[in-house]
Chains A and B, each alone.
Chain A
């Protein structure tokens, strides 16, 4: 706990009587890359805004190191934010945008010049000093926002869906760049995203949130391999989630069959959720399978086929590099390490059935803010 730069203790937030965050506890270590991951409205942006000082929690405390900053206004906090859609100053050029933080702190001229140049070369924008920000592309504006925030030499950088407005290719490049920058500068990053892939590939620690509560905190590997409940299992990657019964340690029953597994510590005959990742399932001839089912649909995904298979009315998603035509009867083999057991939770039964499977598409950004903006835009066109 001693090297934690930010600690959130028993945070609760409600807007107009609606609880947005409840009983929220999080400790962020120095130099860590922490990602707050969750669907729209899960409270991740609210959490970031509490750290930034833009929302004061209804209840609970915020510590920077040992110091309680609960009532400290944003401009006195040693954190800087990269906002959704960058929020650059439209009346200033690139240089002045980056210099803003230093100017308000009344740094001397030579110091400002040196820092701004350093920051602009860090984000590969040398030569853009006197360009108007409105003439820059989305990716370049993003870089200006990063340079502007880093120019203040924050201990902690807060990033609110910084890549959401960029196209896929650029987003991948920026992911790498941000990660490298973080390593190079040794700054703590608190990163908000709804993109699970982004979270897994960049973070040291992922905080999975839903409904204003932390569902799970762990390394990307932990979160993926050992999800604590059906929500996490479904949100991070794809999962088939089945009802099962834990017969005893290392033995689970589902679909009327017992399987060996690696999990223990449950009560005898305790009902559980069983998670099977679509890429872990081996397809074999029906006669050799633990279970047999019928292929109902196949989608080509480039690297693999997404194959939906009907097992006694329950549809599974299986990712396979081999093509099985719809109507084919196949068998599957499940090894103990392919089976992950979770305790029943409020999310049981809500996820993991592919009966009504459709492509989940990425939203552009977090509607917590965008909804307001869109209605505003819609109205101004009337």
Chain B
């Protein structure tokens, strides 16, 4: 009969938990404490520009590090036997089975002043390092948290690259670098864009990681600011928080739009690789 009706429950879900809340965010953004329409909330964004820049910086750096770490790993996994691939992919996903908060807390105990890493340094006779509460710690936390989201899309694209295509490139005189840059890289663009989107978006807006691993010395990330405005402060500043949320959303949409441009170029060859 009508298969479209099967989507009705999800439609209702979307309405209740996405469309209406979004409408409320928009409502708060454009009203003042008394509920009157105003545009006065908008200029307040400027007060938080540091947080925006810092979040973008941390997000970009984390995404970049994830890509650098995940790319060779994903390629290496994709060239193995079927069995080995399954085992290794499971190992990559293993940390995701654990609660994210728990993982970050564990990381905290590893890099704290008297933590595991500093103990090791002591044992080796090296000076201990101050790691907790730095930008480095936040980035480490992000990479730690989001790495699987980079590995998986890369792996799923790379595993479709025919090994004989790589051999053909070598056969025609391409050395390892040329094979990478002329064949593997262009063929894995869809995985790269998917991975970047899946890591960049949550890491820019994350507040858990920076809250647990950051400190007074690090700039507050925008996600943390929004969380604070909505529930931390008294009275709550819903209106400013809502504006910041909207700006963040627009930034994310822009980022995804840029990514989809890269993706379009590679769409046409998908039929060939599948």
Which residues of chain A have a CB within 8 Å of any CB of chain B? 52-54, 73-76, 79-81, 83-85, 87-91, 100-101, 103-105, 132-134, 148-149, 152, 375-376, 379
The CA-CA distance from A133 to B174 in the complex, in Å, is 20
Known: A80-B172, A90-B273, A134-B269. A100 touches B182 (CB 8 A): yes
CB distance from B160 to the nearest CB of A (A): 9
CB distance from A131 to the nearest CB of B (A): 12
Known: A104-B182, A134-B272. A88 touches B165 (CB 8 A): yes
CB distance from B192 to the nearest CB of A (A): 13
Report whether A104 and B174 are in contact in the complex, using a CB–CB cutoff of 8 Å: yes
State whether the Cβ of B164 lies closer than 8 Å to any Cβ in chain A.
yes
The CA-CA distance from A74 to B171 in the complex, in Å, is 5
Report whether A100 and B82 are in contact in the complex, using a CB–CB cutoff of 8 Å: no
| Cross-chain pairs A/B with CB under 8 angstroms, 19 sampled | A73-B170, A74-B170, A75-B171, A75-B174, A76-B173, A80-B171, A81-B171, A83-B164, A83-B167, A83-B168, A89-B169, A90-B165, A90-B187, A91-B269, A104-B174, A148-B172, A149-B171, A152-B173, A376-B82
State whether the Cβ of B72 lies closer than 8 Å to any Cβ in chain A.
no
The CA-CA distance from A80 to B167 in the complex, in Å, is 11
**Residues from 165 to 206 in B contacting A, C-beta threshold 8 Å:** 165, 167-175, 178, 182-183, 186-187
The CA-CA distance from A75 to B178 in the complex, in Å, is 10
Q: Which of B164, B183, B269, B271 has the most CB of A within 10 A?
A: B164
The A-B contact count (CB < 8 A) is: 83
The CA-CA distance from A270 to B31 in the complex, in Å, is 109
User: Which among B162, B266, B269, B273 is the interface contact of A87 at CB below 8 angstroms?
Assistant: B162
Chain A residues contacting B271 (CB-CB under 8 Å) are: 134
**Residues from 74 to 96 in B contacting A, C-beta threshold 8 Å:** 82
User: Which among B168, B178, B266 is the interface contact of A89 at CB below 8 angstroms?
Assistant: B168
Report whether B173 and A101 are in contact in the complex, using a CB–CB cutoff of 8 Å: yes
The CA-CA distance from A132 to B187 in the complex, in Å, is 14
- Of all chain A residues, which has the CB nearest B160? A380
The CA-CA distance from A87 to B162 in the complex, in Å, is 7
Chain A residues contacting B165 (CB-CB under 8 Å) are: 87-90
The CA-CA distance from A87 to B161 in the complex, in Å, is 10
State whether the Cβ of B268 lies closer than 8 Å to any Cβ in chain A.
yes
Contact residues on B (Cβ < 8 Å of other chain), bracket: 20 to 34
CB distance from A146 to the nearest CB of B (A): 13
Chain A residues contacting B268 (CB-CB under 8 Å) are: 132, 134
Binary interface encoding of chain B residues 128-172 relative to chain A, with 1 for a CB under 8 A from any of its CBs, else 0 = 000000000000000000000000000000000010110111111
The CA-CA distance from A338 to B80 in the complex, in Å, is 54
Report whether A87 and B186 are in contact in the complex, using a CB–CB cutoff of 8 Å: no
The CA-CA distance from A254 to B167 in the complex, in Å, is 53
The CA-CA distance from A76 to B268 in the complex, in Å, is 32
Report whether A87 and B178 are in contact in the complex, using a CB–CB cutoff of 8 Å: no
Known A76-B173, A87-B168; further 13 A-B contacts with Cβ < 8 A? A52-B171, A75-B172, A75-B173, A84-B164, A87-B167, A91-B186, A91-B266, A91-B269, A104-B169, A104-B174, A104-B178, A134-B272, A376-B82
Chain A residues contacting B167 (CB-CB under 8 Å) are: 52, 54, 74, 81, 83, 87
Chain B residues contacting A133 (CB-CB under 8 Å) are: 272
Report whether B173 and A105 are in contact in the complex, using a CB–CB cutoff of 8 Å: yes
Chain A residues contacting B273 (CB-CB under 8 Å) are: 90
CB distance from A335 to the nearest CB of B (A): 50
- Of all chain A residues, which has the CB nearest B178? A104
Report whether B173 and A104 are in contact in the complex, using a CB–CB cutoff of 8 Å: yes
CB distance from B208 to the nearest CB of A (A): 36
Chain B residues contacting A80 (CB-CB under 8 Å) are: 171-172
Chain A residues contacting B266 (CB-CB under 8 Å) are: 91
Report whether A152 and B172 are in contact in the complex, using a CB–CB cutoff of 8 Å: yes
CB distance from B256 to the nearest CB of A (A): 23
The CA-CA distance from A81 to B166 in the complex, in Å, is 12
- Of all chain B residues, which has the CB nearest A83? B164
CB distance from B73 to the nearest CB of A (A): 20
Binary interface encoding of chain B residues 244-274 relative to chain A, with 1 for a CB under 8 A from any of its CBs, else 0 = 0000000000000000000000101101110
CB distance from B66 to the nearest CB of A (A): 24
The CA-CA distance from A122 to B139 in the complex, in Å, is 56
Chain A residues contacting B82 (CB-CB under 8 Å) are: 375-376, 379
The CA-CA distance from A87 to B172 in the complex, in Å, is 12
The CA-CA distance from A54 to B166 in the complex, in Å, is 11
Chain A residues contacting B169 (CB-CB under 8 Å) are: 89, 100, 104
Chain B residues contacting A103 (CB-CB under 8 Å) are: 182
CB distance from A183 to the nearest CB of B (A): 23
Q: Across chains A and B, which 4 residue pairs bring their CB atoms closest together, nearest first?
A: A90-B272, A101-B172, A87-B164, A134-B272
Chain A residues contacting B269 (CB-CB under 8 Å) are: 90-91, 132, 134
CB distance from A82 to the nearest CB of B (A): 9
The CA-CA distance from A53 to B169 in the complex, in Å, is 13
The CA-CA distance from A222 to B83 in the complex, in Å, is 46
Report whether B173 and A89 are in contact in the complex, using a CB–CB cutoff of 8 Å: no
The CA-CA distance from A235 to B262 in the complex, in Å, is 53
- Of all chain B residues, which has the CB nearest A105? B173
Report whether B272 and A75 are in contact in the complex, using a CB–CB cutoff of 8 Å: no
The CA-CA distance from A148 to B171 in the complex, in Å, is 11
Report whether A75 and B175 are in contact in the complex, using a CB–CB cutoff of 8 Å: yes
The CA-CA distance from A319 to B6 in the complex, in Å, is 65
The CA-CA distance from A53 to B172 in the complex, in Å, is 12
Chain B residues contacting A74 (CB-CB under 8 Å) are: 167, 170-171
- Of all chain A residues, which has the CB nearest B174? A104
Report whether A91 and B171 are in contact in the complex, using a CB–CB cutoff of 8 Å: no
Chain A residues contacting B187 (CB-CB under 8 Å) are: 90-91
The CA-CA distance from A18 to B56 in the complex, in Å, is 55
CB distance from A47 to the nearest CB of B (A): 16
The CA-CA distance from A379 to B85 in the complex, in Å, is 12
CB distance from A337 to the nearest CB of B (A): 46
